[in-house]
Amino acid sequence: MKLATYGAAGAEALGGVVGDEMVPLAPALAALGAPPVPTTMLALLQAGEAAMVAVARALAFATRPENAALRRPLSSVQLRAPLQPGKILGVGRNYGAHAAEVGGPKLEAPRIFLKPTSSVCGPGAMVRIPPSVRWPDWEVELAVVIGRTAWQVPETRALDCVAGYTVLNDISAREFQFDQALPMTSFAKGLDGFCPLGPYLVTADEVGEPWRLDVRCWLNDELVQQGNTQELIFSVAALIAYLSRYMALQPGDVIATGTPAGSGHFRQPPRYLKPGDRMRLEVEKVGVLEHGIG
């Protein structure tokens, strides 16, 4: 399934995306005679497998030819970030080529940082760069959305804890990482709007194994990043297993798995985001996230 959050009557609602149409979940469930499910993506994930099964049934019902009234054009709704995560855990230098361009010693364990939920924004957003930020940069990433509590999970069972995937732009103010004696990575990556997320939450069964997914980023129609998740130093399963040794991953938590080579700070000469820039970020089988820079 492709699940989405969209604006509706001054609030937000959940829907399922089928082709170029949106199925609002609440009317579809009511028409099916099914009990309602939670009205936010985070609460839906927390409700467990039964709620997701009900959603799948409602989407299948709504796609029948005689139920066209339960669907509307996708272009008629304003997509929001698919969810407001419980916590966002980022992974630095997790693609071989990106680790090489950044430099430093070989990582023996994942390099973890945090992004606050206040940094989340959705498809079509205009990310405002604070005037005092000098080196704003981009990073396209596959984001993993946790679907069930993961605590002390072995790598062999880690993917059972995944609800689905989405696309994330890990925007960073590089001066806080590289222009001072004590780097502040979480602060560099945690400013308001510095976590565009979307456009959908695509369930794990639709994506399949996340081993060979192309990852690309365009800046103003120029391809600036291109990689594949087979290049991950620490796989999705390895990341979940590692993190769950130290903290419980809860439904709705997000893991940003790292970025390929090609972000702006490591180019020669360096290149940074500026007002008026347009970004297009794509992960194969997951979707395309577009947003602007203000």
Residue with tokens 């005092």: 132
236 has a pLDDT exceeding 90: yes
pLDDT value for 79: 98
pLDDT confidence of 99, banded at 50, 70, 90?
A: confident
pLDDT confidence of 106, banded at 50, 70, 90?
A: confident
Q: Which DSSP letter does residue 282 get?
A: E
**Residue 95: both structure tokens together:** 């693609």
Measure the CA–CA gap between 265 and 281, rounded to whole angstroms: 18
pLDDT confidence of 88, banded at 50, 70, 90?
A: very high
Contact 134, 175 (CB under 8 A): yes
Q: Where in the chain is the domain with CATH 3.90.850.10?
A: 88-293
Measure the CA–CA gap between 196 and 212, rounded to whole angstroms: 23
Interior CA angle at 236 toward 212 and 120, to 5°?
105
The separation between CA 199 and the C-alpha centre of its own chain, rounded to angstroms, equals: 8
pTM: 0.97
Mean pLDDT value across residues 97-110: 87
Measure the CA–CA gap between 221 and 8, rounded to whole angstroms: 31
Burial class (CB in 10 A: 0-12, 13-18, 19+), 29: buried
Helices and strands (H and E) in the chain: how many: 8, 18
Measure the CA–CA gap between 249 and 213, rounded to whole angstroms: 24
In terms of Cα–Cα distance, which of 217, 105, 87 is closest to 144? 87
Residues ≥6 apart with Cβ < 8 Å to 49: none
Residue 122's CB is within 10 A of a number of other CB atoms, namely 22
Dihedral over Cα of 196, 199, 203, 208: its sign: negative
Share of the chain above pLDDT 70, in %: 100
CATH homologous superfamily of 88-293 equals Fumarylacetoacetase-like, C-terminal domain (3.90.850.10)
pLDDT value for 282: 98
Contact 175, 137 (CB under 8 A): no
